[in-house]
Amino acid sequence: MNLRRLLAMAYKETLQIRRDPRSLAIALIMPLIQMGLLGYGVSLDIRQVPTCVYDQENSQLSRGIVSSLDAGGWLSVREVLHSEAGVREAMDRARCIATVVIPTHFSRTLASTGSADIQAIFDATDVNTTNIAMGYIQGVIAQVDVQIHARWAAAHGQPISLLGQVELRPSTWFNETLDSRNFIIPGVVAVILALVGAQLTSLTISREWERGTMEQLISTPVTALEVMLGKLTPYFVIGMVDAAICLCVAVFWFDVPFRGDLATLLAATALFSLVILGIGYLISVRVRSQLGASQIALLVTMMPTTLLSGYTFPIDQMPAPIRMLTLIVYPRYFVTILRGIFLKGSGVAELWQPLLGLGIFAVLIIWLAARAFHKRLD
Amino acid sequence: MFQRLSAMLIKEFLQLKRDRWAMFSLIVPMVIQMLAFGYAATFTVHHVTSVVLDLDQNQASRSLISHFVASGRFDVVEQARNDAEVRRAIDHNDAVIAIIIHSGFQGHLQNGTGAPLQIIVGGTNSNTALIALGYIGQIVATFSSDEAARLLPPQARLARPEIGVTLQTRPWFNEGLEDRWFFIPGVIGSLTMLQVISLTAFAIVREREIGTLEQIMVSPIRPIEFILGKTIPFFLLGLGGIVLVSVIGIVWFKVPFIGNPLVMLAGSTLFLLASVGIGLLLSTFSRTQQQAFAFNFFFINPLFILSGFAFPIAAMPAVLRWFTLINPLRYFLIVIRSVFLKGVGFAVLWPVLTAMAAIAAVMLTVSVLRFRSSLDA
């Protein structure tokens, strides 16, 4: 390997990137746009759930329940319905996510038998939102229940018994406000690196084939290893710049806590970039059409990063075979490291396993990539 | 005109047939992603790993823990002996929640002074934490009422009637709260969009990049025939893709399809017209395939995130919510989910279909105009 030839190759590739300002601009603006989109657009913790109410009784008690549904800020009563058909229509047209139905003889049943039902109907096409809304409504009804208990006890001159009562004292670590932004944003660094790295490198060799400049490249004295390193170096720099942009936006704009140490993050980011770039290069060498290369690159980088890495969907909830599969899904290790460093303040001591996993992948992929390219035309 | 158009179409189909990557990239990613979403995409919270620190060690504390285990939502993976072990389990991701029962728990229950129960939730995944906290509340409430019933003397139990309000929950359209029923219809729309937009854009940009666009321009084909010839194959492929993925969803993943296939067809047609229009528009911005690839992501990713595919639109800030109004995928997802799960028809969906038609008309007009002027340049 000759450093001069390697630098010449890197210089050629840099010039090529510089002369295509649109792609470069996109590679650098992408992290900002993605961060903005994911930071603001991706929120799982829905507040102010649009709720409809069908109050068949319309008594003092039932009106009280309706106003306590609206009071906490978790639910927002948008519409009062007046018939079963109205409920059906509101749910069909998705005007509200939940409809609370208070039956006709609610107060009377409660007074005579001591217990009564309230019905909550959910538009369960969105399962996660349904689960969250269910929790909110259950919370409100539990409060109503406590009030009714207290009123009953007062009316019968009995003290409110705490017999068998548990006072729940929950505390949340690492993400005290349970803000889904703090959960999503660290993972975005992985998504953006996968996106930009795969996007740019997967086309780098296949383009030379498609445009016919490969013959020129082969007739020069550079070796296969120099081609690889020369082609990947500029993209590695772009990847690290992108990661730095993401980091700054996350910490300074979105106020995501950063509790760990920067050196570990830098090392992990470099390893992950190497894996992504190596994969992009490997595909680029094997697949000579740019369209094919870009599609395969997306499939092997973006798909695992967004779906199987734990970035949005928790790995421990996946079925066992898929969970086993995620062990070879390299973004999984990076996402674990990112969350650990950002939210938990973990260091090398806690994160050595994922770091090792990522390191093994980096060595393996770069080794494969270095062997893949031969200076032959057929 | 039809003769020239059919010649152009034959050329395009031949090219598609010879380009195994186009076929590959249309079918394989759809099937793989479908399987990945079907099996891996879940927001449900089952078997949350839990560490228990029981400092009271008696009947009440054991009964509480068995309430947690019996719910099926929590799995006790570790019995800690002190706070440090709890801390370590949560720090190392061995457990997501910690249940800490302090000494005196049973005593507080029995003399009615309210027994404190400490729960620690590792909140790195805020969604799991939020839902788990809801379950914990329910489990503890059940435990409390069981204990109250057990501890009260029989005569007092008679004097104090069981009073209270019960909430009956009725999840419509997806009674079993199956995640798949939510994600798979969504995958149909988003994957089709991704494939159709990028294939349309790539097909045109490649002709420009390798220089065959000029050859076509000097042939007697008119611009509009060229555009039709380029877009019709991808429109048809997209339709085929929707059918394929829908069949996998219905047959393999058993997602119910209770609506009218004609409504689905109408929605798909309008959606594909809009997608083809977007692809055409993107092609006018790019000289090389690398640029097309980059632009694709620039446009497709926002469409994807702001569609309600996984993240509820109701949880977005107002500005982004307005943006979703011009997103064809948002409307198509409503159509797919409504037809699959709700079984509603044109009577309910006409506003959505009209909005898609309007978006498709604008997209096609703008892209054709821009495309024609980009040919002159």
- The ipTM estimated for the assembled molecules is 0.76
Residue A377 lies in a domain: no
Domain shared by A208 and A341, yes or no: yes
Domain shared by A215 and A318, yes or no: yes
CA of B226 vs chain A CAs: smallest distance (Å):
21
Domain shared by A317 and A204, yes or no: yes
Q: Which of A155, A189, A215 is the last residue of a domain?
A: A155
CA of A165 vs chain B CAs: smallest distance (Å):
5
CA-based nearest residue in chain A for residue B22: A292
pLDDT at site B251: 92
CB A147 within 8 A of CB A140: no
Interface of B with A in 222-281 (CB under 8 A): none
pLDDT at site A275: 92
Interface of B with A in 11-30 (CB under 8 A): 19-22, 24-25, 28-29
| Interface membership of A218 toward B (CB under 8 Å) | no
Domain shared by A109 and A127, yes or no: yes
Q: Which residues of chain B have pLDDT under 70?
A: 20-23, 25-26, 152-164, 375-377
Residue A279 lies in a domain: yes
Residue A168 lies in a domain: no
Domain shared by A56 and A151, yes or no: yes
Domain shared by A67 and A7, yes or no: no
The arrangement of strands across the sheet holding B97-101 comes to A166-173, B115-122, B97-101, B48-54, B74-79
Interface of A with B in 128-147 (CB under 8 A): 128-132, 134-135, 137-139, 141-142, 144-145
Domain shared by A277 and A350, yes or no: yes
Domain ranges of chain B: 10-41+177-376, 48-159
pLDDT at site A294: 79
Residue A309 lies in a domain: yes
The whole domain housing A150 covers 49-155
Nearest-angstrom CA–CA distance, B45 and B64:
20
Nearest alpha-carbon partner for B342 in B263, B268, B231: B263
pLDDT at site A373: 80
pLDDT at site B276: 92
Cβ contact, residue pair A199, B167, below 8 Å: no
Q: What does the pLDDT profile of chain A (378 residues) look like in tens digits?
A: 788 888 888 888 888 888 878 778 877 888 888 888 888 877 777 778 899 999 998 888 888 889 888 887 888 899 899 998 999 888 888 888 899 999 988 888 888 777 788 889 998 888 888 888 888 888 888 888 778 777 777 777 666 566 667 777 777 777 777 777 888 888 888 888 888 888 778 777 777 877 778 788 888 888 888 888 888 888 899 889 989 998 999 899 888 888 888 999 999 999 999 999 999 888 888 887 777 787 788 788 877 887 888 887 878 778 888 888 888 888 889 998 998 888 888 888 888 889 999 999 999 999 998 888 877 766
Nearest-angstrom CA–CA distance, A39 and A309:
18
Where does B48-159 sit in CATH, by number?
Answer: 3.40.1710.10
Domain shared by A145 and A34, yes or no: no
The total number of structural domains that make up chain A? 2
- Write the DSSP symbol of residue B252: I
Contact list, B342 vs chain A (CB under 8 Å): 92, 125
Closest Cβ–Cβ partner in B138, B172, B311 for A122: B172
Closest Cβ–Cβ partner in A45, A125, A343 for B130: A45
Cβ contact, residue pair A131, B43, below 8 Å: yes
Domain shared by A114 and A134, yes or no: yes
Domain shared by A121 and A255, yes or no: no
CA end-to-end span of chain A: 24
